[in-house]
Amino acid sequence: MAPAEVVTWAVLSQRLPLISMASAENEACAVQSIACPSQAWRLQTVRLDSAGRVEGPRTSGHVTGKMAVFPWHSRNRNYKAEFASCRLEAVPLEFGDYHPLKPITVTESKTKKVTRKGSTSSTSSSSSSSMVDPLSSVLDGTDPLSMFAATADPAALAAATDSSRKKRDRDDNSVVGSDFEPWANKRGEILARYTTTEKLSINLFMGSEKGRAGTAAFAMSEKVRTRLEELDDFEEGSQKELLNLTQQDYVNRIEELNQSLKDAWASDQKVKALKIVIQCSKLLSDTSVIQFYPSKFVLITDILDTFGKYLSYEMCLFCQELGDHFSPENANDTAKETCLNWFFKIASIRELIPRFYVEASILKCNKFLSKTGISECLPRLTCMIRGIGDPLVSVYARAYLCRVARLTWGSVSCSALLLNSVMSAFRAEFIATRSMDFIGMIKECDESGFPKHLLFRSLGLNLALADPPESDRLQILNEAWKVITKLKNPQDYINCAEVWVEYTCKHFTKREVNTVLADVIKHMTPDRAFEDSYPQLQLIIKKVIAYFHDFSVLFSVEKFLPFLDMFQKESVRVEVCKCIMEAFIKHQQEPTKDPVILNALLHVCKTMHDSVNALTLEDEKRMLSYLINGFIKMVSFGRDFEQQLSFYVESRSMFCNLEPVLVQLIHACVAYCFITIPSLTGIFTRLNLYLHSGQVALANQCLSQADAFFKAAISLIPEVPKMINIEGKMRPSESFLLEFLCNFFSTLLIVPDHPEHGVLFLVRELLNVIQDYTWEDNSDEKIRIYTCVLHLLSAMSQETYLYHIDKVDSNDSLYGGDSKFLAENNKLCETVMAQILEHLKTLAKDEALKRQSSLGLSFFNSILAHGDLRNNKLNQLSVNLWHLAQRHGCADTRTMVKTLEYIKKRSKQPGMTHLTELALRLPLQTRT
């Protein structure tokens, strides 16, 4: 073994018992060694005083003693050059014909079946280039509707387009004018115009044809009983499919079905007739031959019309009264029972399209049940159409519903219902531009069965989506509110008011909004009617804050806060407060000190905070804390620190039940951090807050306060328990402690030394705490921490540090690369190295060899990254660590290979030629 060297060692001024004493005398030293394939290294003890403390430069000048043979020398770093070498190289990219928006062309193989006599079927294929983007077809006119339009005569199409444009320019508000074309005329035109040469198919699933033909001898009651039994008899039959039909064949087949319907009805086979109608209705879901669909629609609806007329006529026979002005009071029980049975049977149809068409075809039969039957049925059928996914099918379904609904006009008083249907179905822009005309029609319409306030609500819904002419806006609001404010029923009133509040907020000032809110309060306060209308009141609040982003204007609306007082149910009140705070955080761009805003939002935040109790979920607490913290961040009194502090103190007293809010206040008010952090329960919360508060203080040039925070954090580390509770589970705390200390070391790099506490005083205090901390027996976290300390000290030895804080002079500026400071730094590095090597020696056991290999390689990498390997002794130490990592075959061969390749690559860089020799001394051992 090489003889030990005597060196001057200035060490920590606080207690740091690095290596145990081998004898009672202070001058004695214990030589510890770890056997390596090539040689051994030696660790020496340090000089201790009688109290067991390491003698340092401030207590005994300098101490001579035996030291390890591997002194530390940090390599000089040029951070700018290293950053430049790590940047990605810019390589020109040749796009060629490629463009991300260029459509992709694929080859589609079409297979055609060829059948030959006396042989099995074979296939022939052809390829074609097709566009796979489904949206681009809309632009180039190849979508089905564009192709359909292209089949028309271009001249006629242009003329029709010009004619429709001129017609839109004229006043076309009349529901039915003198130029209205009857369906009988339109029907023939459609059949003549929309034809096809493609093959068509009919797929029918018919039930059994057994029926009970009626006889004249049956009494009326017996016939009714038989009819009810037939309606219940839906037996499964056979499926019949007709393929490759020409258009004329298809028309003939539909006419045959129409005749079959008439024959079945005449022979009293009502179930068969219903099945024919159902199966025919299903054909309207097929749009495979799209250019023929209008004609198919005409043919099928003819059958539906026939069915509807037959059923309506039969109901009239039961009542022994005919005529369009039939009243439900004239219907007897037999007619009502039979009519209900038909509706119930139709309601049981599983598929949407046949259920809709069959019920629409007998819409007129609702008059046998009640006066409002048709007015109640029409909105429901309108909503049913929304479930039809194919746009073409849904449009024609609406057309059929409009046609059958119009046929009931004069039979029932439903002008208000029709007007409401128009406002519900037409585009909002169409309604908005004609708002005054619609208001005139609403005033004149017959509201029996459909009150006018619902019409104003429908109008308001359209005006929320589209703007009316500016000159009409005030008059529209006045006309609508005249009707709304006279409503006596609170539910009717709030349902309309909720819609028109948005119109008011959108087009008027806070004065009009205040008037509307006052009217709402007036109507909803008596008898506490607001308790039954919280959803509508919430919508009003959301609409108001959606349009008033200036909260100084919002809270100056006189009736806004009284409106909030109506939310007396706590859960609802909290939800409203959350909506207000979300809007404030989203739209408030600049910090504010407006007393109106502060007082109002403090009240809102206090309401949210006071809702927290022992049963409140953690997610809810986090949400409330986020909203309150967002408010606190936006409050600033500028240089008026007294006012700012007063606000924080008031906030802390108001929001004491939410710890995240306390944390936010702590960050904002450094002066009160020291007295607030100890009151928190989580130890890592306290540690991180001490560190973060120190960083904030440092960033604001409060150096003494920063030192106090860092010292508090250091003194708290011994209190870290072995196990901590993480989301309800007990977990070891060492990994969390390691993470905290790594962050702490990164901060200590830029913390300047205190002039009264000596060189690196915070680092030395932290090392003492780490040394005294009780670590797990099988844990390597302590050595990983020492490795991080070694990185920190290496960074501290550079002439210019990697990062700085503005207006704070770090040690690189204070010491300017002074040789005494560098010597202190290197000696401290050697002390840390001794601890790492001592720990590696303790791992020379079978069960710990893998850990020894991993830590050895990690220490090797640290020396490679931060040490000056031109120093022969440090170079030799790295070689020993390399051999140690491979000694027992526990090393990761891939990692070792990549590490060696990295060393060889670095050796080619300027000033790194010494690594070439090192690479030659690092063999790779194979496992055999």
Give 756-775 pLDDT, tens digit per residue: 888 889 999 999 999 888 88
pLDDT at 76: 84
Residue 629 predicted with pLDDT over 80: yes
- 232-241, 505-514, 515-524: least confident range: 232-241
Report the distance separating Cα 348 and Cα 355, nearest Å: 8
On whether residue 427 sits in a domain, the answer given is no
On whether residue 277 sits in a domain, the answer given is yes
On whether residue 760 sits in a domain, the answer given is no
Report the distance separating Cα 677 and Cα 666, nearest Å: 8
Residue 278 predicted with pLDDT over 70: yes
**Token couple for 611:** 């809702």
pLDDT tens digits, residue range 810-863? 988 888 778 888 888 888 998 899 988 988 888 888 778 888 888 999 999 999
| CA atoms in the 13 A half-sphere facing the CB of 234 | 12
Task: With beta carbons less than 8 A apart as the criterion, state whether 28 and 22 touch.
Answer: yes
Report the distance separating Cα 437 and Cα 444, nearest Å: 11
Q: Please compute the mean of the pLDDT values over residues 869-893 and round it to a whole number.
A: 87
Residue 413 predicted with pLDDT over 60: no
pLDDT tens digits, residue range 321-352? 545 555 666 667 777 788 888 888 888 888 99
pLDDT at 69: 46
Q: Which residues contact 656 (CB under 8 A, 6 or more apart)?
A: 662
Task: With beta carbons less than 8 A apart as the criterion, state whether 716 and 733 touch.
Answer: no
Residue 13 predicted with pLDDT over 90: no
Residue 291 predicted with pLDDT over 50: yes
Q: How far is residue 621 from each of residues 570, 615, 618, measured CA to CA in Å?
A: 16, 11, 5
On whether residue 652 sits in a domain, the answer given is yes
Residue 522 predicted with pLDDT over 50: yes
Q: Which residues contact 620 (CB under 8 A, 6 or more apart)?
A: 612
Residue 191 predicted with pLDDT over 70: yes
Q: How confident is the model at residue 167 (pLDDT cuts 50, 70, 90)?
A: very low
Query: 382, 412, 442: which is the final residue of a domain?
Result: 412
Residue 921 predicted with pLDDT over 70: yes
Report the distance separating Cα 377 and Cα 382, nearest Å: 9
- 131-140, 349-358, 642-651, 866-875: least confident range: 131-140
Report the distance separating Cα 111 and Cα 902, nearest Å: 58
Per DSSP, 74 falls in state B
On whether residue 322 sits in a domain, the answer given is yes
pLDDT tens digits, residue range 709-725? 999 999 999 999 988 88
Closest CA to 904 of 882, 890, 921, 892: 921
Percent of the chain with pLDDT over 70: 74
Residue-number span of the structural domain to which 577 is assigned: 569-679
pLDDT tens digits, residue range 657-713? 887 887 677 666 676 677 778 888 889 999 999 999 899 888 877 788 889 899 999
Helix (H, G, I), strand (E, B) or coil at 585: helix
Query: 385, 412, 439: which is the final residue of a domain?
Result: 412
On whether residue 383 sits in a domain, the answer given is yes
Residue 22 predicted with pLDDT over 60: no
Report the distance separating Cα 694 and Cα 712, nearest Å: 10
pLDDT tens digits, residue range 70-113? 678 888 888 888 887 777 766 665 655 555 555 555 444 444 44
pLDDT at 114: 41
Report the distance separating Cα 878 and Cα 872, nearest Å: 10
Query: 357, 392, 412: which is the final residue of a domain?
Result: 412
Question: Among all chains, which residue has been given the structure tokens 């004329």?
Answer: 248
pLDDT at 1: 31
pLDDT at 408: 64
Residue 447 predicted with pLDDT over 70: no
Q: Per DSSP, what are the bridge partners of residue 111? A: 125
Report the predicted TM-score, pTM, of the whole model to 2 decimal places. Answer: 0.42
Q: How many residues does the chain have?
A: 928
* Domain tally, the chain: 2
**C-alpha dihedral, 341 to 342 to 347 to 350, nearest 10°:** 110
Report the distance separating Cα 578 and Cα 608, nearest Å: 7
On whether residue 49 sits in a domain, the answer given is no
| pLDDT, the chain, mean | 76
Q: Per DSSP, what are the bridge partners of residue 246? A: none
For residue 121, what is the enclosing H or E element?
none
Q: Per DSSP, what are the bridge partners of residue 32? A: 43
pLDDT at 369: 78
Percent of the chain with pLDDT over 90: 24
Q: Please compute the mean of the pLDDT values over residues 591-620 and round it to a whole number.
A: 90
pLDDT at 678: 85
Q: Which residues contact 356 (CB under 8 A, 6 or more apart)?
A: 381, 384, 385, 388, 397
pLDDT at 97: 55
Task: With beta carbons less than 8 A apart as the criterion, state whether 343 and 311 touch.
Answer: no
**Token couple for 836:** 């790492």
- 164-173, 469-478, 703-712, 889-898: least confident range: 164-173
pLDDT at 367: 76
Task: With beta carbons less than 8 A apart as the criterion, state whether 734 and 779 touch.
Answer: yes
Residue 230 predicted with pLDDT over 80: no
pLDDT tens digits, residue range 848-866? 888 888 899 999 999 988 9
Report the distance separating Cα 721 and Cα 733, nearest Å: 7
On whether residue 834 sits in a domain, the answer given is no
Q: Please compute the mean of the pLDDT values over residues 216-235 and round it to a whole number.
A: 47
pLDDT at 319: 64
Residue 60 predicted with pLDDT over 60: no
Report the distance separating Cα 687 and Cα 281, nearest Å: 74
Of residues 540 and 909, the one with the higher pLDDT is: 540
